Amino acid sequence: MDIVKNVLEKEQRDLERFKSIEVEKHIECRTDPGMLMCTDPNELDEKSLKSDKQKYLLDLTRDNVQILLNEIWELETDRVEECIVAKLPPPAYILPRSRKCPVAKQLTKWEKFAKEKGIKKTKKDKKTFDTELDKWVPTYGYKRAQAEKDKTWVLEVPKNADPMEDQFQKKLDMRSEKVAKNEVQRMKNIVRAKKVDVPRTGYLGPEAASSSELLTAATIAKSSTASVGKFQEKLTKEKVARGIGVKELIPGSKRKASHITEVPEKVHNLELINSVLSKKPKMDVDKAISVQKREAREEREANPQQKKPRKGGSKRSKKGGKIHSSKSKKPKAGGGERDFKKRAGGRKRR
Amino acid sequence: MKRLSDERAKIFFEKLTKYIGTNAKQLIDRPDGTYCFRENKNKVYYASEKLIKLAENIKPKDLVCVGTCLGKFSKTNKFKFSITALNYLAPYAQYKIWVKSSCEQQFLYGNHISKSGLGRITENTPKYQGAVVYSMSDVPLGFGVVARSTSDCKMADPLATVCFHQSDIGEYLRSEDTLFSTIM
């Protein structure tokens, strides 16, 4: 009996040494067995925290870990090689990312255009049958260049081309030019994707520059004075460059004209109108011609007998003055408009 | 909203004087207060100073229209009158063309005026002069450019174009959606 008693006493002591597995909390703790995490929303007891910090925190942690372990023991368990293993559910808590979100890759200019237009990339076959060579030829890569060489062993000289020009060399040049162009475009795509400011290309020379690039160059050159081109003379029909990053270079356009000016707007506008009106020629040529024509017509209509052809033999003056007979064709003036391109018909006058 | 730059003002006045000549001064020198021209998004507006001061409280981007829209500057920096300008062109017009009632509808559909449709024309109209087109009952219908001077008109055959169409009041219906839209 003593032995039994001893054992029971020992058991009792053991039980007293260990704390109960049931933990009581004001607010229930949230557990996430998938993450092996337990969050305690209860407030800390300040009194006990101040008196014995270490003990209090240790107790609190034990309680919370106990709650988590209780949760785990409720899960489906398995025995693998003398070990009890619980099957954890997928984690419910979402951890914040440690790194920033990946950004979608910037589309190249062509990719963007193709997307807008709905152009899809069609995959080319690795090999195509060449009817001229009568065999399968790789579309790209190994042995492609050799196939090309075999195919174009002779080149036609275009009709209007220089006969001494090397067509093979020309083809090679074209190819290297294409490669260079591609490289430039690749660089431009990188610049666009990284959104970095690059300096303007400037003047590319009369052959390479497009008309808009030439205009931009001219505009930049004009505004490259100490007064930002304000006092630079303007041509009569000068064009101004347009586009992104160009506007600020156009002389004078940077600042908005103030509504309050030395000269009142009304007076300024009147001056402008006067200058516009005074620019017109004093004598309106068209009007003068039309007035003269009208007078002539009225005169003709007033005394028609004067125009009647004279009867009898035609008298010719010594100087070679002409008298029209009624049968000859009436000269056409072309309605008062002179066409300089057209050669005047009729007798050659000296 | 900004004042017309000197360059643009000159282009604008040159066009204006093409239609109303010296009467352009009367648009500025008005007895009933100061009126001025303002530019917003390449469109030119004509409004009293009072109205413009009120309109300045609105962002130019959001502003649709102030006063009367006279026209717009094209991308090549040329000025084009819109039909809304007719209110100011018609009373001051120096050169006028009257259209026969039979040809009225044709013009209002955007066609040129042929000699057969010509009712009357101001005496001594030079070629390529801007003119306002009226119906025979003196209702302004639009404006255009005279293709033949008055004296040439008398000689022209009936199918010859006398006046090139530029704008007509039919546009209020035909281009209703684009006439006042801010998108250009």
| Triad A192, A193, A198: Cα angle to 5° | 40
- Nearest-CA neighbor of B119 among B106, B102, B131? B102
B172 to chain A, minimum CA–CA distance in Å?
A: 30
Residues B76 and B101 in one domain: no
Q: What residues make up the domain containing B62?
A: 2-89
Q: Chain A: residue nearest B38 by CA?
A: A259
Do residue A294 and residue B151 have CB atoms under 8 angstroms apart? Answer: yes
Q: Is residue B128 part of a domain?
A: yes
| Residue-wise pLDDT tens digits, A66-109 | 999 999 988 888 888 888 898 899 998 888 889 999 988 889 99
- Residue at a domain's end among B89, B121, B150: B89
Residues B83 and B110 in one domain: no
pLDDT for the residue A120? 93
| Residue-wise pLDDT tens digits, A277-308 | 887 666 777 778 888 888 999 999 888 765 55
A120: contact with B, CB 8 A cutoff: no
Alpha-carbon gap, residue A285 to A288, rounded angstroms: 5
Residue of A266, A276, A278, A297 to mutate for B, most B C-beta atoms under 10 A: A276
Residues B77 and B150 in one domain: no
Do residue B17 and residue A252 have CB atoms under 8 angstroms apart? Answer: no
Do residue A257 and residue B124 have CB atoms under 8 angstroms apart? Answer: no
Residues of chain B contacting A269 with CB distance shorter than 8 Å? 9, 13, 28, 36-37
pLDDT for the residue A320? 47
Number of domains composing chain A: 1
pLDDT for the residue A317? 45
Alpha-carbon gap, residue B47 to A309, rounded angstroms: 66
The sign of the CA dihedral B138, B140, B146, B147 is negative
Q: Is residue A50 part of a domain?
A: yes
Instruction: Specify the higher pLDDT residue, A123 or A18.
Output: A123
Instruction: Output the CA–CA distances (angstroms, integers) from residue B45 to A31, B61, B143, B165, in the order listed.
Output: 70, 15, 19, 23
Residues B9 and B83 in one domain: yes
pLDDT for the residue A173? 93
Residues B162 and B83 in one domain: no
pTM metric for this prediction: 0.50
Do residue A277 and residue B29 have CB atoms under 8 angstroms apart? Answer: no
pLDDT band with cut points at 50, 70 and 90 for residue B131? very high
Do residue A273 and residue B24 have CB atoms under 8 angstroms apart? Answer: yes
pLDDT for the residue A321? 47
Count of C-beta atoms within a 10 Å radius of residue A217: 17
Q: Is residue A191 part of a domain?
A: no
Share of chain B above pLDDT 90, in %: 37
Nearest to A256 among B2, B28, B155 (CB): B2
Residues B84 and B101 in one domain: no
pLDDT for the residue B1? 82
Q: Is residue B66 part of a domain?
A: yes
- Nearest-CA neighbor of A238 among A254, A221, A224? A221
Residues B139 and B119 in one domain: yes
Do residue B155 and residue A269 have CB atoms under 8 angstroms apart? Answer: no
Nearest to A287 among B25, B29, B126 (CB): B126
* CATH number, position B25: 3.10.450.220
Nearest to B25 among A273, A291, A335 (CB): A273
- Which residues 289-328 on chain A approach chain B with CB closer than 8 angstroms? 290-291, 293-294
Residues forming beta bridges with residue A19, ordered by sequence position: none
B43 three-state secondary structure: strand
Instruction: Output the CA–CA distances (angstroms, integers) from residue A9 to A5, A6, A20, A53, A236, in the order listed.
Output: 6, 5, 18, 34, 117
Alpha-carbon gap, residue B90 to A215, rounded angstroms: 40
Q: Is residue A293 part of a domain?
A: no
Nearest to A335 among B13, B25, B152 (CB): B152
Residues of chain B contacting A260 with CB distance shorter than 8 Å? none
Alpha-carbon gap, residue A231 to A221, rounded angstroms: 13
Pairing of strands B113-114, B161-168: antiparallel
pLDDT band with cut points at 50, 70 and 90 for residue B46? very high
CB A201 within 8 A of CB A184: no
Count of C-beta atoms within a 10 Å radius of residue A108: 16
Pairing of strands B96-99, B130-135: parallel
Residues B168 and B111 in one domain: yes
Residues B102 and B161 in one domain: yes
Q: Is residue A274 part of a domain?
A: no
Q: A286-310 b/e with 16+ CB inside 10 Å = b?
A: bbeebeebeeeeeeeeeeeeeeeee
B170 to chain A, minimum CA–CA distance in Å?
A: 31
pLDDT for the residue A313? 47
pLDDT band with cut points at 50, 70 and 90 for residue B22? confident
- Which DSSP letter does residue A250 get? S
Calculate the average pLDDT of chain A. Answer: 81
Residues B69 and B100 in one domain: no
Q: Chain B: residue nearest A334 by CA?
A: B152
The CA R_g of chain A, rounded to the nearest whole Å, is 50
Q: Is residue B114 part of a domain?
A: yes
Element at B24 (helix H, strand E): helix B24-28
B68 to chain A, minimum CA–CA distance in Å?
A: 18
| Residue-wise pLDDT tens digits, A248-277 | 666 555 555 555 666 778 888 888 888 888
Residues B22 and B77 in one domain: yes
User: A242 pLDDT exceeds 80?
Assistant: no
- Nearest-CA neighbor of A161 among A153, A148, A170? A170
Residue of B12, B15, B36 to mutate for A, most A C-beta atoms under 10 A: B36
| Triad A98, A102, A107: Cα angle to 5° | 170
Q: Is residue B118 part of a domain?
A: yes
Do residue A277 and residue B10 have CB atoms under 8 angstroms apart? Answer: no
pLDDT for the residue A127? 93
Residues B85 and B14 in one domain: yes
Q: How many CA atoms lie within 13 A of A53 on its CB side?
A: 1
Q: Is residue B143 part of a domain?
A: yes
Do residue B127 and residue A286 have CB atoms under 8 angstroms apart? Answer: yes
- Which residues 229-288 on chain A approach chain B with CB closer than 8 angstroms? 240, 242, 252-253, 256-257, 259, 265-266, 269-270, 272-273, 275-277, 284, 286-287
pLDDT for the residue B97? 92
pLDDT band with cut points at 50, 70 and 90 for residue A114? very high
Q: What residues make up the domain containing A34?
A: 15-86
Q: Supply A272's token pair.
A: 């402008």
Q: Chain B: residue nearest A260 by CA?
A: B3
Alpha-carbon gap, residue A73 to A75, rounded angstroms: 5
Nearest to A276 among B13, B34, B126 (CB): B13
Number of domains composing chain B: 2
Element at A322 (helix H, strand E): none
pLDDT for the residue A318? 47
Q: Is residue B43 part of a domain?
A: yes
- Residue at a domain's end among B62, B89, B116: B89
- Residue at a domain's end among B72, B89, B106: B89
Q: Is residue B10 part of a domain?
A: yes
Residue B77 Rama label (left phi>0; alpha psi -120 to 50; beta)? left
Alpha-carbon gap, residue A122 to A134, rounded angstroms: 25
